[in-house]
Chain A
Amino acid sequence: MDRRKMLALLGISPALAAGTSAFARTAPLAAPDAAGCGSEGLVSVLNPGIETKLANRVPLAPRLATLQGKTIYVVDFDWGGMQQNGDVLHEMQRWFAQHMPSVKTIYKIKSGNFVTDDPALWKEIADNHGDAVIIGVAG
């Protein structure tokens, strides 16, 4: 049984199957005529799809063995602009104070707005030997 008949029995169209990588390079099964229609009433069309290139992988920074005695910067990303993320972030600071009192947390609001970068703050955190960062909250 050829592949087209098999797919038809399964209720799968060859073109839909081509959407999966396994069938992506399957050769046309019917030669289209000049109008794009094959002898079986099939149509041959250009593919509007575009391959999205995979990004090169970038490793995460090594993790800490423990948070005990460490300094964590809690960075308010200021999404929404009215410092409303502060409630969640301050609550997290309170949790550390209560449950892991040896952890020092420092609250910072990112400068600019939520679409701008703040490289000066990232450098400040590094220069001040910040051990870890919590940044949020995006919505």
Chain B
Amino acid sequence: MSREAGEIERKYQIPTVALAGDNVVSFGLGAYFKYDSGMPLRFVGVPFPFAGQPEAVAAKFVAGKDMVSGKPFMQAVVDALTSPLTPEEKLSGPAPGAAAAEPRMLPPDTPDNLQRLFMARHWTDYNPVILPTEEKVAAMLKGTSRQPDEIIKSGSGTFGARRPFTVEKVATVAVMAGAKPEYLPVILALSTRVPYMDSTTSIAQMIVVNGPIRNKIGMNSGLGALGPDNEANSVIGRSMTLIHKAIQGYNEGVTGFASLSNPLRYDNLCFAENEESLPQGWRPLHVQMGHKPSDNIVTIFTGWNFINSTGWAAQHYAPQLLMRDYMASLSGMGATIIMDPSVAELLKGAQGFGSKEALGKWLSENVEKPAASYWGNSIVASMLAPLARQGLKPYADWLTVPGDTLIKPFAAGNGINTVVAGGKTASVWFATDFRPEGGTSIDEWA
């Protein structure tokens, strides 16, 4: 909303006041103004939550105090549109002062003090890090042919704030995470995708690696693939978290406001697909995306939910039926099933699904949920209800049917993906709402 308010002010010179909940107004007044817009928008704040409140509560808010200035709410609105601009609000061009300098090296200090510094600067996941000495970073850089001073991206901050970072900076973070040099191409590929998606909701990311590099660097796609049981999976996943913190500059309460956040953010569900165990006709994820089997690809998924099958596949109730049932709990905006190779074998052999795509099609045609429940998800409502009111099918139909009408949320062309991993000790699976953002070449960073 800050972007829109700013455009009205800048392009049309129309005084504007932005209303925001007190949960996010500090971002608009703080980091967004300082690093993104440069425009000191005038905000008036309402208590959060405001959405979904009875009308009487809305009246109470308007009759109450502005959460920003403390003035009576409507007086604050009138003042925002009429009180003359301050010298600060009239400034144009380069911002006064300078951003905090970040020299290449930190002043020498004891290891304990440096660990504390790294935590104080929000560069870590609050577990100890490997201190990135020049020697360790130089060794890490042997994992890529890229030059240390090569700039990977400039707009790495939230909403694209200018935070240019180099190959050496990513190598520094990789050392901190505990990486080996051979992991660096994967970590560099991950870094090209910043800024990672953030939200006040409990959004999270998932990392899936495909191609020969999985085995070359010792990633686990088999027994315990999703657990804390493999160095490469664990450390590459952690690297993404540290990239999010140190390179993107994510700082809870300053540049991000995830109310509960998500424990998946500690290692970002990092694993490799068990390509060797795919049933015949089931293609690896990266090949489904159009890459060659010999390509090395890392795919970042974004989502919220992660539902465990709990037990193994039962003989009296086929796996796809329980997947269908559990998936009714998902938002319907995309899904990925992560399954053990033994589940894939059952689905292929006993149930006749000749490909991942065939399974996805069956699920999209069979997962159902009541329309009211579908729209009850605020992500669905935020993204799709406005488009439904503007006539976009099939959402327009789903918005007008009685709330108890069963709809097929994945039949709107929302992809259902499958990734196979695991060690064939139990026929287990996870139904998730994680959606791929497109694969990134690892080979380009070797």
8 A Cβ contacts from B1-36 to A: 1-21, 23-24, 28, 33-36
Chain A residues contacting B8 (CB-CB under 8 Å) are: 122, 125, 133, 135
User: Which listed residue (B102, B134, B387) contacts A36, Cβ 8 A?
Assistant: B134
B226 adjacent to chain A (CB < 8 Å): no
Query: At the interface, yes or no: A2 with Cβ under 8 Å from chain B?
Result: no
Q: Looking across the interface, which residue of chain A has its beta carbon closest to that of B9?
A: A61
A18 touches B106 (CB 8 A): yes
Q: Is the beta-carbon distance between A117 and B7 smaller than 8 angstroms? A: yes
Tell me if B84 and A63 are in contact (CB < 8 A).
Answer: yes
Enumerate A15-47 residues with CB–CB distance to B below 8 Å.
15-19, 21, 23-30, 32, 34-36, 38, 41-47
Contact A50 B169 (CB under 8 A): yes
With A56-B93, A57-B95 as given contacts, are A19 and B133 in contact (CB-CB < 8 Å)?
Answer: no
Q: Is the CB of A50 within 8 A of B5?
A: no
User: Which residues of A are found within 8 Å of B16, using beta-carbon distances?
Assistant: 61, 132-135
A122 to B23 CA separation, bound complex (whole angstroms) = 26
Q: Give the shortest distance, in Å, between B140 (CB) and chain A (any CB).
A: 10
Q: Interface-forming stretch among B43-51, B354-362, B412-420, B428-436?
A: B43-51
- B161 at interface by CB-CB < 8 Å: yes
Bound form: Cα–Cα A90–B58 in Å: 9
Q: Is B385 an interface residue (CB 8 A)?
A: yes
B61 contacts the other chain (CB 8 A):
yes
Q: Give the contact stretch, choosing among B108-116, B313-321, B324-332.
A: B108-116
Those of A56-79 within 8 Å (CB) of chain B: 56-67, 72, 75, 77-79
Interface residues on B, range: 35 or more
A22 to chain B, nearest CB (A): 10
> Contacts A59-B85, A136-B20; is A16 near B387 (CB within 8 Å)?
no
- Partner of A62 from B44, B54, B85, B107 at Cβ < 8 Å: B85
A83 to chain B, nearest CB (A): 8
For residue B304, CB closer than 8 A to chain A, the reply is no
Within 8 Å by CB of A63, from B85, B94, B106, B132, lies B85
Which of B276-284, B294-302, B376-384 makes up part of the contact surface? B376-384
For residue B59, CB closer than 8 A to chain A, the reply is: yes
Decide yes or no: A139 and B20 within 8 Å by CB, A21-B101, A67-B82 being known contacts.
yes
Q: Could you say which of B39, B83, B134, B169 contacts A48, with CB atoms under 8 Å apart?
A: B169
Instruction: Say if the beta carbon of B292 comes within 8 Å of chain A.
Output: no
Give the A-B contact count at a CB cut-off of 8 A. 358
| Cα-based distance from A52 to B30 in the complex (angstroms) | 13
Binary contact readout A81-106 vs B (1 if CB under 8 angstroms, 0 otherwise): 11011011111100100011000000
In the complex, which residue of chain B has the Cβ closest to the Cβ of A78?
B386
Q: Which residues of chain A are within 8 angstroms of B39 by Cβ–Cβ distance? A: 57-60
Interchain nearest-CB distance for B211 vs A (Å):
28
User: How many A residues touch the partner, as a band?
Assistant: 35 or more
B94, A43: Cβ atoms under 8 Å? no
- The residue that A28 contacts in the complex, of B20, B105, B157, with Cβ under 8 A, is B105
**What is the distance, in angstroms, from A31's C-beta to the closest C-beta of chain B?**
8
For A54, the closest partner residue in chain B by CB is B95
Q: In whole angstroms, how far apart are the Cα atoms of A91 and B56 in the complex?
A: 9
Contact A131 B14 (CB under 8 A): yes
**Residue pair A56, B120 in contact (C-beta under 8 Å):** no
Q: A61-B13, A64-B81, A80-B381 are in contact. Are A16 and B117 (CB under 8 A)?
A: yes
Hey, which chain B residues are within 8 Å of A30, CB to CB? 108
- B123 contacts A by Cβ under 8 Å: yes
Which one, B54, B107, B157, contacts A14 given CB within 8 A? B107
B48 touches A139 (CB 8 A): yes
Interface flag for B445 (CB, 8 Å): no
Q: A51, B74: Cβ atoms under 8 Å?
A: no
Chain A hits for B28, CB < 8 A? 138
Q: Measured between C-beta atoms, what is the minimum distance from A68 to chain B in Å?
A: 10
* In the complex with contacts A16-B116, A122-B7, A91-B110 CB distance below 8 A: no
Any A CB within 8 A of the CB of B164: yes
State A47–B173 Cα separation when bound (angstroms): 9
Q: Let me know if B384 and A25 touch, CB within 8 A.
A: no
Tell me whether B110 and A113 are in contact (CB under 8 A).
no
Q: In the complex, what residues of B have CB within 8 A of residue A111's CB?
A: 386, 390
| Min CB gap A85→B, angstroms | 7
Chain B residues whose C-beta falls within 8 Å of the C-beta of A60 in the assembled complex? 9, 15, 39-42, 85, 89-90
Let me know if A118 and B4 touch, CB within 8 A. Answer: yes
Given the complex, which residues of B lie within 8 Å of A112, measured CB to CB?
386-387, 390
Quick one: given A50-B249, A55-B38, are A14 and B95 in contact (CB under 8 Å)?
Answer: no
Partner of B163, one of A14, A45, A50, A64: A50
Taking CB atoms, residues of chain A closer than 8 Å to B162 are 52-53, 55
Instruction: List, in ascending order, chain A residues with CB within 8 A of B161's CB.
Output: 52-53, 55
A-B contact pairs, 6 of them (CB 8 A): A51-B163, A55-B162, A78-B386, A87-B54, A113-B383, A114-B382
Q: Which residues of A contact B (CB under 8 A)?
A: 13-19, 21, 23-30, 32, 34-36, 38, 41-67, 72, 75, 77-82, 84-85, 87-92, 95, 99-100, 109-115, 117-119, 122-123, 125-126, 130-139
With contacts A18-B107, A60-B41 known, what are 11 further pairs, Cβ within 8 A? A16-B116, A19-B117, A48-B242, A52-B249, A57-B91, A58-B10, A60-B89, A64-B82, A110-B386, A112-B390, A125-B12
